[in-house]
Amino acid sequence: MLSLFRLKRSLLLLVPLALLACTSDDPPTSETETETEGESGDGDGDPGDGDPGDGDGDPGDGDGEPGDGDGEPGELVQVSGDAFAFGPGGMVAGATVTILELPDQQTTTDRDGHFVFEALPAGAAATFVFDRPGYPRIHTKTFTLPEQGSVERVTFQAPDDSVFAALAQIVGIVPDPEACQIASTVTRVGKSLYDEGAHGEAGATVTISPSLPADHGPIYFNESVIPQLDLTETSDDGGVLYTNVPPGTYVLSASKDGVVFEDVTVQCDPDVLVNPSPPYGLQALP
């Protein structure tokens, strides 16, 4: 059992973990961000002007090669986003961002934490990957890129190694290097990391498919951004966690009477933090 001093210290370290409860100020605008013609959300008809629905989140609609979709052969789309740090520091500069399904594609976050892929194949599956020394490797959800237009506000939530270790200690696990950790936020309509305050949709339950034994989760976070093992549904924080998940492809789903949520497909690789974060996590739809 932790001493009182160590427990308080761990809890203080946990507070910045918007890993499961996204609370951050608006990030600075990147000097390198490129405006594109038309509004975001020109993809599959899901809602959002730069919010959820620029891709439908269902992997495998394209095989990663240009022209797999219904658009013109070789049509390309732009994808941009930001890497958020937990706690002091704001944004994460100098991180390498790659794409699991398109390994030749690579970019780097600028001084504002912003990144851009100028030309990705329309219709391709794309899981964005964050790498930087001192941080765990992070996966987003698996997107299906739209047939035209752009995808904006793809986000990473990046705890450094010390914060990640504190989270593991608080939830009482030893991270298995042969497994992944999966975190997300069940988010209210229209909310994202770019908004202030809590973003969660309270009173929702989360399931994972294929199913896992109960000791893997879900673990819900309370309103104070603390994982609470006896909770059976989300709080206003919205955070949820599955621990030491065997490698594979999983679908996260949220449910609540009267609310429809976007399902999230994720790729769990060994020794990775999978974090489909707002506005591309378990997002409530209008």
Percent of the residues in the chain that have a pLDDT greater than 90, as a whole number: 64
Q: Please state the separation of Cα 217 from the chain's center in Å.
A: 18
Separation between Cα atoms, residue 54 and residue 114, nearest integer Å:
18
Considering only residues 13 and 113, tell me which one the structure prediction assigns the higher pLDDT. 113
Amino acid, res. 38: G
Kindly report whether the global pTM for this prediction surpasses the value 0.85: no
Burial label for 263, CB within 10 Å (0-12, 13-18, 19+), is middle
For 168-211, what is each residue's pLDDT tens digit? 999 999 999 999 999 999 999 999 988 888 889 999 999 999 99
Pairing type for strands 96-99 and 114-121 reads: unpaired
Q: Which domains are delineated in the chain?
A: 176-285 (2.60.40.10)
Return the minimum-mean-pLDDT range out of 48-62, 127-141, 166-180, 235-249: 48-62
For 54-81, what is each residue's pLDDT tens digit? 444 444 444 444 444 444 457 999 999 9
Q: Which residue is it, tokens 């790729």?
A: 267
Question: In the 8-state DSSP scheme, what is residue 91?
Answer: B
Separation between Cα atoms, residue 249 and residue 57, nearest integer Å:
13
Using pLDDT thresholds of 50, 70 and 90, give the confidence band for residue 224: confident
Q: Quick one: pLDDT at residue 88?
A: 61
Return the minimum-mean-pLDDT range out of 44-58, 114-128, 134-148: 44-58
